Structures are given as structure tokens and as C-alpha cells.
Amino acid sequence: MPFTLNSTVDYHKSKLETLGWELTVSNALYPQDSPCRSILNDPSSYGRHLYEFLISVVPPLAKVDRIMEIGGGYGYLMRDFLECNPGLKPFMMDISPFLLQKQEETLKDFEVIFREGNFLECDDALLEGIELVVMNEILGDFPTAVDVPADILSPDFLPDSPEEPLHRIRRLYDLYALGRPQTRTFNFNLGAVEAVEKLCKAGVPAIFLGEHSCEASLPEHFARYIHLETADSPQRIALKGHDEYTIKMSHLQQVAEALQYRVLRGPFADFLDIRYSDSLLSILTSTDDADDRQEILVHFLGDLFQYEYLILVR
């Protein structure tokens, strides 16, 4: 199969009409009566858990007020943040006019700046004064290079133009020592890596990244009950109207560390604390005749480890 660049831009700009079918971790925890809350020690929303985690592991973030969220979905996470800290001054950027409208509705009671645009194309001046950037469960929407020939990493590779995707991939591999893939072709999170490079070069003091990882692992006590798809290369996720790709988080980590950031990394389970119980064990061990609720909970539990976060601090 020839090299392609998977893009979700057209879908998000002109075709997206709902996120109802896309069960992200944050959306799964949004309804107050969500069954997913029942397996957490604190049955709160995703945004509250994340805000409290951020200020606990990086205490200076408690004093941050200028915050930017890129790709904010329906605005639920930012509303949680504002309810935790009404002093925040948020800036929301989204490529989707539909989602930006939803964010405006969700956040209508707060003072928020909204901007429609593609973050990869925006002027770096927009980042001046921003103290924290949040990119939660949207990195998989950025362009991913698919079936890249490993030969582009050889010394004699000569790309046609510096703007060509293959040249951009080669530059990133060389500059950040990302290593050579073991296969003849590979997938590469080009947009996600360039987004992290853009943020770090702009000197944003703190950055939160969270997404479906291709490198995730399970703790031993869950490994017998839950299967995780892992791979050395980002993997395709077929969704309604578009494809997304899992993220090779180690690449983002290498870029951040090369640009002098301290990196904290782990699964979402670090801040979505699981309540271990006989009931949970029963759900895990009775999957053959599981009802809809049990299937949702097993899937959600797997996501708590399949999704990884990076906190980048300068």
C-alpha cells in the first residue's frame, strides 16, 4: 500500500454533527448517573479528577489563570475546570465550527475566548502568556502518516521539498533521535509530534496531553481479564466518517525532553482511582453472559490503562 497522510480536517470542519457515538473517557464520565463513575473511589466527572490531579502533581498550577484548551469537544472539561477554579481565563481553540458552538453553549456563564482554527497553522503569538495548554483526547485527530517507507530514514534519501510530509518526518526522526522502525513501513503521528514541538518551542510553561496510546500496558492483576491492543506503530481506529490513529507517546516524550521539559507519564488510572471490590471482580469474571452495563464497565476499565497522559513542565 502506498504512503498516505490521514487527515480529519474536512470531517471536523464540514461533516461532524455529534460526538454521541464516540465514547471517550471524558464523555463516559460526564453524566452524573454514568455507570462508569460507580467503579471509581470518587464518582466525580472527568474534568474535576483531572484538575485536582494536575494541581497535586504540579502545585504551581494551582496559581495558573491563563489556560488554553485545543479541541475542547463539548466544553465539559473546561466547565469542570472553571467550577473548580472560577478565576481561570480560558482560551478555546477548535477546528470544528460545530464543536466550537457547543463549547460556547456549555460555557455561556463564564468569560471565555473562542477561536476557530487549525492549531498547527495558528500564529505562535496566540500562545504568548498562556500558562497551561490542555490537549485531551484529540491528538489522534491530528494528521497521521500511514505506510511510510522506512527507506526515508536512510542516509541517501532525498525528498523533493522541505514541506513534503516525508521530509518533515525525516527531519523529526533525525532531530529528536526517534529511532529506526523494525518494519519496512510504519505509521507516524506527524501532526501530534509537530503540535508538541510547536508548544514546547513556544515555551508554554505546562502542557497536558492525553490520548489512546499504542504503547499502553496493564497491571498484572488486570492482565488476565482485559485485553489491550498494543503495537510499536500507531494503529488505525475506524470511526464514523473518518479514521483516527493511536499515539506513540514515547515520541512525544522524546521531543519534549529534547526541548528541556520535565515529563510525567502514566495511564489515566493514575488520576481516575479505581475502587477495587468484589462487585468489580464479578464484572470482570462474568463476561460470557455480561449485560450492556457490564460491557460498558469492562470497556471503560480497559480505557483507564489504554489511554496515557503526558504532563510537560518547563
- What's the pLDDT tens digit per position in 227-262? 888 889 999 998 888 899 999 999 999 999 999 999
Residue 152 lies in a domain: no
Q: Which residues contact 18 (CB under 8 A, 6 or more apart)?
A: none
Task: Check the CA dihedral 155-159-161-164 and report its sign.
Answer: negative
Query: Which pLDDT value is given to residue 159?
Result: 67
Angle at 235 between CA 230 and CA 241, to 5 degrees: 140
Query: How do residues 108-134 score in pLDDT, each as one tens digit?
Result: 999 999 999 999 999 999 999 999 999
The predicted pLDDT at position 156 comes to 83
> For the residues 141-149, what does the mean pLDDT come to?
96
Residue 215 lies in a domain: yes
Is residue 172 assigned to a domain?
A: no
| Residue 288 covered by a domain | yes
Query: In this predicted model, what pLDDT tens digit does every residue of 162-198 receive, in sequence order?
Result: 778 999 999 999 999 998 898 999 999 999 999 999 9
Is 155 within the bounds of a domain? Answer: no
pLDDT digits (tens, 9 = 90+) for 192-217: 999 999 999 999 999 999 999 999 99
> In the predicted model, what is the mean pLDDT of residues 17-36?
82
- Domain of residue 228 covers 4-145+184-313
Whether 21 has a pLDDT exceeding 60, the answer reads no
The CATH number of residue 288's host domain is 3.40.50.150
Distance CA 114, CA 125 (A): 16
Say if residues 72 and 305 touch (Cβ distance below 8 Å): no
Mean pLDDT of the chain: 92
Contact yes or no for 206/58 (Cβ under 8 A): yes
Would 133 be classed as within a structural domain? yes
Number of domains within the chain? 1
Q: What is the pLDDT of residue 290?
A: 67
- Is 174 a member of any domain? no
Answering whether pTM is above 0.75, one says yes
Residues near 47 by beta carbon (within 8 Å), at least 6 away in sequence: 26, 76, 77, 78, 79, 80, 81, 84
pLDDT at position 267 is: 97
Q: Which residues pair with 91 in a beta bridge?
A: 68, 113
Predicted pLDDT at 153 = 92
Task: Report yes or no on 164 lying in a domain.
Answer: no
* Per-residue confidence (pLDDT) for residue 160, from 0 to 100: 67
pLDDT of residue 51: 98
| Residue 220: how many other CB atoms lie within 10 Å | 7
Span 254-282, average pLDDT:
95
